[in-house]
Amino acid sequence: MFHFECPPMPHFIQIGQDTYSIGRKHPGRSSIGVFDLLFVTRGCLYLMEGEHELTLPAGHFGILRPDLEHHTVSPCKEETHFYWLHFQTTGQWHPEPYEKEPLPPEQEPLYSPIEYFSFYLPRSGSVQSLGLTEEQFGELLRLYENPSGNSRWQEQQQFHAILLRLQEDSKEDTAQSSHLQLAEEAALYLRKSYRDPLSYKRMAEELHFHPNYIALCMKRTFGCTPLDYVTQFRIEQAKRLLIHTNDPVGAIAEETGFGSFPYFVRCFHRRTGKTPKQFRLQYRQQH
């Protein structure tokens, strides 16, 4: 499983296709600097990346890392056709499982205009809709080989559609992603209900998991507890209201789920190094 922190989204570089006859091998390479996505439509590829063996029969895909060596374990036993696709990201990415450490308060941005999110891709898997997936790869290849004025834009859109298709089709095959899915569901629940007091019991009933397990999954995925997550989300909503409205600070504390005015001021100062009033004055024009 790969974890991409977005934006930026992974970006498409190039695509091609190849047909191997019986006995042919995929070339061995080391640290090529790009992700190598292989999608087999006929036959089978037998690969090794580091200490991880990767067998890709028809209807399966695999993603090779940009920083490891890979080579063929055994040559093709039948005629094998596959698409290959290179992509990369300028953002953060990690192989799962990954113990993410939260940023210390002094390194957190005071007011971030970008809404960051996580995008997960399985290292390998099968596709449930082989014909449609093959059609998507074929369309991306057509755009790449026949460039036009806006083909680069269309290539990126088609590439992201392929990534989403592979992610959706592989959910049932990837048991190890269960903690990621639960963490994302918990985060969505917390964002929707941030105005209400945090109740671990209510969250457990909503998600049908023990609160301790939910907290463990969020710690592994986001590097923080549910309380830390919802507190930071409340702070971001409070920043927006402090900058864009004239609402009293006490009203903003209540609106963003803090309830207590002193508690809101303490949390805000601990996270940003400023009181809510100081933060508002920093970004509001003085007359």
- Single pTM value for the model: 0.69
What pLDDT shows up at residue 109? 47
**Residues sharing a CB contact under 8 Å with residue 219, sequence separation 6 or more, in sequence order:** 225
Sign of the torsion formed by the C-alpha atoms of 223, 225, 226 and 227: negative
Q: Of 90-99, 169-178, 263-272, 277-286, where does mean pLDDT reach its minimum?
A: 169-178
What pLDDT shows up at residue 168? 81
Residue 259 token pair: 């309830």
Report pLDDT digits (tens) over 154-195.
Answer: 999 999 999 999 988 876 544 445 777 888 899 999 999 999
Report pLDDT digits (tens) over 11-46.
Answer: 999 999 999 999 999 989 998 999 999 999 999 999
Of residues 114 and 178, more confidence is placed in 178
Does the pLDDT at position 211 exceed 70?
yes
Q: How far apart are CA 96 and CA 186, in angstroms?
A: 19
What pLDDT shows up at residue 92? 86
Per-residue pLDDT band for 116 (boundaries 50, 70, 90) equals low
What pLDDT shows up at residue 107? 43
What pLDDT shows up at residue 286? 55
Bridge partner list, 14: 86
Q: How far apart are CA 7 and CA 22, in angstroms?
A: 42
**What's the rounded mean pLDDT across residues 61-89?**
95
What pLDDT shows up at residue 7? 84
Residue ranges of domains in the chain, CATH in brackets? 2-173 (2.60.120.280), 176-287 (1.10.10.60)
Cis preceding-peptide flag for 197 (omega within 30 of 0):
no
Question: In the block, which residue shows the tokens 């900058």?
Answer: 243
**φ, ψ of residue 244 in degrees (nearest 5):** -100, -5
What pLDDT shows up at residue 106? 43
Sign of the torsion formed by the C-alpha atoms of 199, 201, 204 and 206: negative
Q: Of 174-183, 200-209, 272-281, where does mean pLDDT reach its minimum?
A: 174-183
What pLDDT shows up at residue 115? 63
